[in-house]
Amino acid sequence: MTTILIVEDNEMNRDMLSRRLKRRGYEVLVAVDGEMGIELARTKAPDLILMDMSLPVIDGWEATGRLKADADLKHIPIIALTAHAMATDREKAIEAGCDDYDTKPIELTRLLAKIVTLLLGAPSLPHAASVPIRRIS
């Protein structure tokens, strides 16, 4: 079973994402801060990480940098999740080591397309954003 680690401090966002991913057959791990996310990545080796960038203890930028600097973990794709929707925010996430970027509120169809693309080993493609969108509220 494919395992996704959600690193998200907002309980509502975390629960919603977790439930929806589980319904689609993913095993889900949950961390509430960057430090816990790094530890779970080291001990459980998820197939993909959804990383909120505004986290307590260690923020998502730093946590991503640490994960990508670790030879045993750098292969794990990371999708940045953030409420910041500026073009520079996407660039900043990619520079930090994220493999893709998505904005909140989460549009599940778009996020699922990015997850599948990265799990298949391809770089996330621009056409993934053109998938029909269903907003999660």
For the chain, list the domains and their CATH numbers.
Answer: 3-130 (3.40.50.2300)
Please tell me the predicted confidence (pLDDT) of residue 61: 93
Cβ-based neighbours of 129, under 8 Å, separated by 6 or more: 110
Q: Which residues of the chain have pLDDT under 50?
A: 125-137
pLDDT digits (tens, 9 = 90+) for 83-123: 877 778 888 888 999 999 999 899 999 999 999 999 998 55
Give this prediction's pTM.
Answer: 0.87
Please tell me the predicted confidence (pLDDT) of residue 73: 96
